[in-house]
């Protein structure tokens, strides 16, 4: 499972790299909407079998505060990635995090003793208790994603910290983007 | 003197003393009353506190008085009979406070003061106190309260306390719940934790506080904490959110937020029976309840109309009506003791500021001018609002008068200070 995920990812990287080469201003939509097509075409012409999975290079996709939550560099498609980021004032799980969350779902389904705690956070804007409520929506969105993948409810707990535990200090958009997140913390059966 | 004994008990329960907050007046009133607080005479030994200086600082900080600097005083009487009225008339002081302390054989102090009207050359009020050295500040605050009330007709809040949360990542326990005198002095730590502490709320008699603590397992729980005994108990530990406790005016119930049934909803909790009653029922966010003085209605934040706005609920029939319509974001309400003014966090052009709405006339004003104001809490006499804001990237406290004319900063020397809660009269 893990090897094939890496293969797919690696191919996808080349695909999006090519795409980036053709497009002067790559945006998130470029990479997500047309990846599939590019991947297949690329696979036909040049099959890739990396001996060692290497960390893909996404440096060609600008890391902006606005697109931070959906930037592929945060999500390696394995359980090694344990933070899901969110857009401002949103609680939808970003598409770039899907593979990573599926990997967590598979781990939880394959290890019935594993327990994960989904910890929701917001940026510092807005009132504190209202932010606790907003952050809970985020942790519940991740919970819902895992449940749809077939994870047992008994393996998941959620907690909302609102703005109380920021990951990044500072009052700029980039710090805010890093703080709008759900962290997956294993309390048992860590992968 | 009951107040002093009570305060003494409170002080006995904790030992850690922290860096005091320092008060700076950032905006005062042009029509502040000129007053002279003459340095008190002392006999039997110099007291540990400068009582007159504390009184002058208190009156100055209210924004409603302009104390004459001690070095500008032409004479320094300590009793009414010794006052040379001309000395104060020439300095345009309209009122004079004089007083003296006497150290008794048992080490306690007897403090006397008099308030005089300079124009009439007559005494308005006089009183005396006896207490220990550690109560000198309480005496100074009590004198300030009496002078303030005598001259403005409004009870003073100098003898009250503020409760607040501090956060300093360099500490082993970054989160602390502290309280201090309303002037920021004599800060005491009530609780230290590695996990967040949130939403402190006073009981109406000032003897207990409720708050949210994530201590231990990292999950939120609501505690009720007795300040004198340091005893505390968990009153809410449901799955999901346990947040935003607010004490009812009669002290028997808490309003709070739980999400155990799905979305965050407002509940009331009977503190003696533990009975929970769910008050809201919407898929939206309902949180941040505060009681109106009648004890039969709440105001709270709800996203039921889209963004957060403030609503009012009648607890007798759980009917709800919307109160705020100004802009897309109004949240975290508090209410003045007379129930007339609603104060809350208002977002305008991406900036979070303190707004006030006159619920009788329906008028709305923004009281502050910074970017990140939050957690407004009204003083028990309804004249001032203390709130959290940011200065140089750190959380600090400020206070503003309900008419926006006076603003006071309370910068902290260490870490972040946030979520102030002004005590009731004690």
Contact at CB, A136 and B308, closer than 8 angstroms: no
Q: How many beta-carbon pairs under 8 angstroms link A with B?
A: 80
pLDDT band, very low/low/confident/very high, at B316 (cuts 50, 70, 90) = very high
What is the per-residue pLDDT for B23? 61
Judged against a pLDDT cut of 80, whether residue B383 lies above it is answered with yes
Q: Mean pLDDT for chain B?
A: 92
Q: Judge contact between B117 and B124, C-beta under 8 A.
A: yes
Q: Do A171 and B375 touch (CB under 8 A)?
A: no
> Residue A178 burial (CB < 10 Å; 0-12/13-18/19+)?
buried
- Asked if B196 and A133 come within 8 Å (Cβ–Cβ), the reply is no
What does the alpha-carbon distance between residue B361 and residue A92 come to, in Å, rounded to a whole number?
41
For position B53, what pLDDT does the model report? Answer: 97
Among A126, A130, A136, A140, most B C-beta atoms within 10 A, so best to mutate, is: A130
Q: Which residues contact B111 (CB under 8 A, 6 or more apart)?
A: B40, B47, B51, B99, B100, B101, B102, B128, B129, B130, B131, B136, B139, B143
Interval B149-171 mean pLDDT: 96
Domains and CATH numbers, chain B: 31-152 (3.40.50.10070), 164-422 (2.120.10.30)
Using the Cβ of B240 and the Cβ atoms of chain A, whether some distance falls under 8 Å is answered with yes
DSSP secondary structure letter of residue B81:
G
Nearest to B182 by CA among B408, B415, B414: B408
Q: Which of B336 and A169 is assigned the larger pLDDT? A: B336
Band (B392; pLDDT cuts 50, 70, 90): confident
Q: Which residues of A touch B244 (CB under 8 A)?
A: 129
Which of these ranges, A41-50, B111-120, B130-139, has the smallest mean pLDDT? A41-50
Nearest chain A CA: its distance from B227 CA (Å): 24
Which residues of B are less than 8 Å from A134 in CB distance? 285
Exposure of A173 by Cβ count < 10 A (0-12 exposed, 13-18 middle, 19+ buried)?
A: middle
Higher pLDDT, B178 or B10: B178
**Residue A42: its pLDDT value, please?**
44
β-strand pairing of B232-236 with B242-247: unpaired
Q: What is the DSSP letter of B143?
A: H
Fill in the DSSP letter of residue B123: E
Q: How far is A158 from chain B (nearest CA, A)?
A: 7
Establish if B306 touches chain A: CB-CB under 8 angstroms: no
| Residue A4 main-chain phi, psi, to 5 deg | -70, -35
| CA dihedral over A127, A132, A135, A137, signed as positive or negative | negative
The predicted pLDDT at position A49 comes to 58
pLDDT digit string, tens, across residues B2-50: 343 333 333 333 333 445 555 666 676 778 999 999 999 999 999 999 9
The average pLDDT across B143-160 equals 97
CB neighbourhood size of B43 (10 A): 11
**pLDDT at B247 exceeding the cut of 50:** yes
CA-nearest residue to B353 within chain A is A126
ipTM of the complex model: 0.92
Q: What 8-state DSSP symbol labels residue B17? A: B
pLDDT 10s digits, B63-83: 899 999 999 999 999 999 999
Q: What residue of A is the nearest CA neighbor of B328?
A: A126
Q: How confident is the model at residue A54, as a pLDDT? A: 64
* B254 and A CB contact within 8 Å: no
Give me the residue label for tokens 């009981």: B203
Task: Check CB contact of B308 with chain A, cutoff 8 Å.
Answer: yes
Q: Please tell me the predicted confidence (pLDDT) of residue B376.
A: 98
Find the residue in B nearest to A158 (Cα).
B240
Q: Return the pLDDT at A170.
A: 87
CB contact under 8 A, B393 and A170: yes
Closest CA to B310 of B336, B285, B278: B285
- A101 min Cα distance to partner chain B (Å): 22
Positions in chain A short of pLDDT 50:
1-43
Between CA B318 and CA B304 the distance in angstroms is 15
Question: Which of A117, A130, A158 has its CB closest to that of B331?
Answer: A130
Tokens 């009281």: give the residue.
Answer: B367
Measured CA angle at B324 (ends B323, B326), to 5 deg: 155
Q: What is the pLDDT of residue A57?
A: 80
Other Cβ atoms within 10 Å of B362 Cβ, number? 9
Mutate to test the interface with A, among B240, B391, B395 (most CBs of A within 10 A): B240
Nearest to A132 among B239, B241, B419 (CB): B241
- Please give the residue of chain B at the shortest CA–CA distance from A163: B196
Q: How far is A48 from chain B (nearest CA, A)?
A: 45
* pLDDT at res. B415: 80
Q: How distant is the Cα of B415 from the closest Cα of chain A, in angstroms? A: 13
> What residue ranges do the domains of chain A occupy?
1-51, 65-191
DSSP assignments along A35-95, one per residue: HHHHHHHHHHH-----SS------TTS---TTTGGG-GGG--SSTT--EEE--TT--SPPG
Q: Helix, strand or coil for residue B321? A: strand
Per-residue tokens: A60:
């060609």
DSSP string, B252-297: SEEEEEE-TTSS-EEEEEETTT--EEE----SS-EEEEEE-TTSSE
Mean pLDDT of B150-163: 97
Q: Pick from A127, A136, A158: which is nearest to B374 by CB?
A: A127
Residues of A in contact with B393 (CB under 8 A): 169-171
| Rounded CA separation A23/A11 (Å) | 18
Q: Is the domain covering A65-191 a CATH 3.30.1330.60 domain?
A: yes
* B2/A173 Cα distance (integer angstroms): 52
Taking CB atoms and an 8 Å limit, are A129 and B218 in contact across chains?
Answer: no
Q: Which residue has the higher pLDDT, B341 or B404?
A: B341
Return the pLDDT at A52.
58
Instruction: Find the mean pLDDT for residues B98-118.
Output: 97
Query: pTM of the entire structure?
Result: 0.86
B329 touches chain A (CB under 8 A): yes
Q: What is the 3-state secondary structure (H, E, C) of B115-154?
A: EEECCCCEEEEEEEEEECHHHHHHHHHHHHHHHHHHHHCC
pLDDT at A175: 96
Pairwise CB contact (< 8 Å): A161 & B244:
no
Is the model's pLDDT at B412 over the cut of 80?
Answer: no
Question: pLDDT tens-digit profile of B276-304?
Answer: 999 999 999 999 999 999 999 999 999 99
At B197 the pLDDT is: 98
Structure letter (DSSP) for residue B32: P
């Amino acid at each position: 499972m893990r090897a094939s995920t890496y293969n797919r990812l690696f191919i996808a990287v080349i695909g999006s790299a090519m795409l980036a080469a053709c497009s002067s201003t790559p945006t998130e939509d470029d990479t997500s909407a047309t990846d599939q097509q590019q991947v297949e075409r690329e696979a036909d012409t040049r099959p890739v079998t990396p001996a060692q999975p290497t960390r893909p290079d996404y440096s060609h996709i600008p890391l902006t505060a606005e697109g931070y939550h959906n930037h592929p560099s945060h999500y390696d498609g394995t359980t090694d990635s344990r933070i899901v980021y969110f857009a401002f004032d949103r609680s939808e799980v970003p598409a770039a995090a899907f593979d990573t969350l599926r990997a967590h779902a598979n781990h939880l389904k394959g290890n019935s003793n594993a327990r994960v705690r989904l910890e929701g956070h917001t940026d510092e804007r807005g009132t504190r208790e209202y932010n606790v409520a907003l952050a809970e929506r985020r942790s519940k969105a991740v919970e819902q994603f895992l449940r749809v993948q077939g994870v047992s409810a008994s393996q998941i707990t959620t907690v909302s910290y609102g703005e109380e535990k920021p990951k990044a200090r500072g009052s700029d958009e980039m710090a805010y983007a890093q703080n709008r997140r759900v962290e997956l913390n294993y309390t048992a059966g860590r992968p | 003197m009951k107040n002093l004994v009570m305060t003494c008990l409170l002080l006995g329960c904790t030992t850690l003393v922290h860096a005091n907050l320092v008060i700076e007046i950032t905006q005062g009133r042009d029509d502040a009353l000129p007053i002279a607080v003459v340095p008190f005479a002392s006999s039997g030994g110099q007291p540990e506190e400068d009582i007159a200086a504390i009184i002058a600082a208190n009156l100055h900080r209210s924004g409603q008085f302009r104390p004459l600097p001690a070095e500008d005083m032409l004479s320094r009487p300590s009793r009414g009979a010794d006052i040379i009225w001309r000395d104060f008339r020439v300095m345009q002081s309209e009122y004079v406070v004089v007083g003296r302390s006497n150290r008794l054989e048992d080490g306690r102090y007897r403090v006397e003061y008099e308030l005089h009207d300079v124009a009439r050359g007559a005494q308005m009020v006089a009183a005396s106190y006896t207490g220990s050295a550690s109560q000198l500040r309480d005496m100074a605050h009590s004198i300030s309260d009496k002078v303030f009330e005598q001259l403005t007709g409004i009870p003073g809040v100098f003898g009250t306390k503020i409760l607040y949360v501090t956060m300093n990542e360099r500490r082993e326990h970054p989160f602390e719940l502290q309280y201090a005198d309303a002037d920021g002095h004599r800060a005491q730590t009530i609780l230290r934790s590695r996990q967040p502490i949130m939403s402190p709320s006073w009981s109406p008699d000032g003897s207990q506080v409720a708050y949210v603590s994530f201590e231990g397992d990292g999950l939120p729980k609501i505690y009720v904490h007795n300040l004198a005994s340091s005893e505390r108990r968990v009153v809410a530990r449901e799955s999901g959110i346990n947040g935003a406790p607010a004490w009812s005016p009669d002290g028997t119930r808490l309003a709070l937020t739980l999400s155990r049934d799905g979305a965050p909803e407002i509940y009331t909790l009977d503190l003696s029976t533990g009975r929970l009653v769910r008050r809201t029922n919407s898929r939206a966010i309902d949180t941040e309840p505060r009681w109106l003085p009648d004890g039969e209605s709440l105001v709270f934040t709800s996203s039921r109309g889209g963004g957060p706005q403030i609503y009012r609920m009648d607890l007798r029939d759980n009917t709800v009506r919307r109160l705020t319509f100004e802009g897309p974001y109004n949240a975290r309400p508090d209410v003045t003791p007379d129930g007339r003014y609603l104060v809350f966090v208002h977002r305008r052009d991406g900036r979070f500021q303190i707004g006030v709405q006159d619920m009788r006339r329906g008028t709305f004003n923004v009281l502050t001018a910074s970017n990140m104001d939050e957690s407004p809490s009204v003083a028990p006499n309804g004249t001032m609002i203390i709130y959290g804001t940011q200065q140089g990237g750190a959380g600090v406290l400020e206070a503003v008068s309900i008419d926006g004319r006076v603003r006071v900063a309370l910068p902290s020397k260490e870490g972040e200070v946030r979520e102030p809660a002004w005590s009731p009269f004690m």
